[in-house]
């Protein structure tokens, strides 16, 4: 009889583990959404309806032998995954891959694609009536959203507010901030930095509603729509007392060099929920998945886990719409700045959507 592997969460990391083990184990992928969400493309899908088809992908062609169960994992213990119904799945190996939650429109609360798409359409229609949109948070998501909005709606005013004195907090080259800011300012984006909003607009994010607020420094900020572009948190609240021992304040969980949950023999973790010291990226989640799949293959074959994970050099690729943006890449300890054309080539034009579409049409395994 084949060993049972239950993968909890069907995002970038979970999908990669499930497909890599599909030929050697009895794989069940537990995921509440009816379709995979390509988070990298969601901001473009907000402004361009043609992108909706590139963001949501059916799980139907993903696994040849394994199954996708459309359920929430309500509680997970070593060897046992309890689903949102009354059902319990027993597992020889559990892989945790539940990622991070992020405010709309970067990620969706909705589990049903039709509902998520209807919300995107309502927001897009309302955006056409707006003169000014306020984005709270000038990190990668706020800046990328400002780029998408100003590319798709050239007459639209955008205000970016952040409590920090500069955009993009983190270990970045000053030139990266300078060029991103200059590109957005040339499109009329207003930066209100150095103080948070004293109070939030009285409307839900992504809905039409004229408002006037101010920062704690007394700077007036007004618009007809706003988005919260900060506040990600690892989704690990379903772990039982044993597995959540050692959980960090941000919800991430400690893993060892084999990406096994610390102190566990057969519980593994990949992607944004791990406490690996690196920026949270889909590319990292997929690399974690390769390591975990190799290690589970080892254990299934009676060997000790042999694969270890080493974080890749840091990089940020920050498109500002299909044609703008900047990137910082690192090789041999040397950090290099790339401009709009290279950023568009690496990510901005396609947002990795061709590779994702191929993967979900059964074109790429593992």
Can the peptide bond before residue 197 be classed as cis, meaning omega within 30 degrees of 0?
A: no
In the complex, minimum distance from the CB of residue 222 to ligand FAD, in angstroms, rounded to a whole number: 25
For 26, which DSSP code? E
Residue 101 is encoded by which pair of tokens? 């939650």
230 near ligand FAD, judged by CB under 6 A: no
Query: 275 by DSSP, 3-state: which?
Result: coil
Query: Which member of 132, 178, 283, 357 binds ligand FAD (CB under 6 A)?
Result: 283
325 near ligand FAD, judged by CB under 6 A: no
Query: Which member of 99, 139, 251, 322 binds ligand FAD (CB under 6 A)?
Result: 99
Instruction: Kindly tell me the sign of the dihedral angle through the C-alpha atoms of 193, 196, 199, 203.
Output: positive
In the complex, minimum distance from the CB of residue 93 to ligand FAD, in angstroms, rounded to a whole number: 16
Alpha carbon distance 181, 190 (integer Å): 10
Q: With CA atoms as reference, report the closest residue to 50 among 155, 147, 154, 120.
A: 120
98 near ligand FAD, judged by CB under 6 A: yes
Residue 19 CA: distances (Å) to CA of 65, 216, 255, 346: 9, 50, 22, 25
Alpha carbon distance 22, 12 (integer Å): 16
Query: Which member of 28, 30, 168, 255 binds ligand FAD (CB under 6 A)?
Result: 30
List the interface residues with ligand FAD, window 145-184 (CB under 6 A). none
Alpha carbon distance 318, 215 (integer Å): 27
Residue 174 CA: distances (Å) to CA of 179, 195, 230, 341, 344: 9, 21, 21, 19, 21
Query: 245 by DSSP, 3-state: which?
Result: coil
271 near ligand FAD, judged by CB under 6 A: yes
Query: Which member of 56, 102, 172, 227 binds ligand FAD (CB under 6 A)?
Result: 102
In the complex, minimum distance from the CB of residue 165 to ligand FAD, in angstroms, rounded to a whole number: 24
β-strand 73-77 against 80-83: which pairing, if any? antiparallel
Q: Residue 312: how many CB atoms within 10 A of its CB? A: 12
**x/- binding map, residues 111-130, to ligand FAD, per CB under 6 A?**
--------------------
292 near ligand FAD, judged by CB under 6 A: no
Q: With CA atoms as reference, report the closest residue to 324 among 229, 191, 185, 227.
A: 185
Q: Which CB sits closer to ligand FAD, 17 or 130?
A: 17
9 near ligand FAD, judged by CB under 6 A: yes
44 near ligand FAD, judged by CB under 6 A: no
316 near ligand FAD, judged by CB under 6 A: no
Q: With CA atoms as reference, report the closest residue to 148 among 325, 281, 317.
A: 325
Considering only 118-126, 281-289, 298-306, 355-363, which stretch makes contact with ligand FAD by CB under 6 A? 281-289
**x/- binding map, residues 294-313, to ligand FAD, per CB under 6 A?**
--------------------
Query: Which member of 280, 315, 323, 335 binds ligand FAD (CB under 6 A)?
Result: 280
Residue 284 CA, chain-centre distance (Å), reads: 11
**x/- binding map, residues 332-351, to ligand FAD, per CB under 6 A?**
---------------x----
12 near ligand FAD, judged by CB under 6 A: yes
CA atoms within 13 A on the CB side of 122: 13
**x/- binding map, residues 237-256, to ligand FAD, per CB under 6 A?**
-x------------------
Residues near ligand FAD (CB under 6 A) = 8-14, 30-33, 39-40, 42-43, 72-73, 97-100, 102, 106-107, 141, 235, 238, 271-272, 280-283, 285, 317, 347
């Amino acid at each position: 009889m084949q060993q049972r592997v239950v993968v909890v969460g069907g995002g970038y990391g979970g999908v990669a583990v499930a497909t890599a083990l599909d030929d050697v184990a009895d794989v069940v992928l537990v995921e509440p959404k009816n379709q995979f969400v390509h988070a990298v493309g969601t901001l473009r899908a907000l402004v361009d309806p043609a992108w909706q088809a590139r963001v949501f992908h059916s799980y139907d062609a993903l696994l040849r032998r394994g199954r996708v169960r459309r359920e929430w994992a309500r509680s997970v213990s070593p060897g046992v995954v309890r689903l949102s119904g009354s059902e319990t799945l027993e597992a020889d190996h559990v892989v945790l891959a539940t990622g991070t939650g992020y405010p709309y429109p970067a990620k969706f609360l909705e589990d049903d694609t039709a509902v998520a798409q209807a919300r995107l359409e309502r927001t897009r229609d309302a955006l056409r009536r707006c003169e000014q949109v306020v984005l709270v948070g000038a990190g990668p998501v706020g800046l990328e959203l400002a780029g998408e909005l100003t590319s798709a709606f050239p007459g639209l005013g955008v205000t970016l507010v952040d409590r920090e004195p500069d955009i993009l907090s983190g270990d970045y080259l000053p030139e990266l901030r300078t060029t991103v800011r200059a590109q957005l300012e040339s499109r009329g984006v207003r930066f209100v930095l150095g103080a948070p909003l004293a109070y939030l607009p009285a409307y839900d994010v992504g809905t039409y509603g004229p408002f006037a607020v101010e920062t704690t420094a007394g700077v007036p900020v007004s618009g007809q729509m706003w988005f919260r572009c900060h506040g990600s948190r690892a989704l690990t609240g379903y772990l039982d007392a044993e597995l959540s021992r050692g959980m960090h304040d941000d919800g991430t969980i400690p893993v060892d060099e084999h990406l096994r949950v610390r102190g566990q023999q057969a519980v593994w973790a990949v992607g944004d929920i791990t406490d690996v010291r690196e920026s949270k990226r889909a590319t990292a989640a997929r690399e974690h998945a390769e390591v975990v799949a190799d290690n589970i293959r080892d254990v299934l074959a009676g060997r000790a886990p042999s694969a270890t994970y080493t974080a890749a050099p840091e990089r940020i690729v920050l498109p500002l719409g299909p044609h703008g943006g900047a990137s910082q890449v690192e090789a041999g300890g040397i950090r290099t700045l790339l401009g709009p054309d290279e950023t568009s080539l690496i990510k901005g034009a396609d947002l990795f959507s061709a590779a994702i579409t191929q993967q979900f049409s059964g074109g790429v395994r593992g």
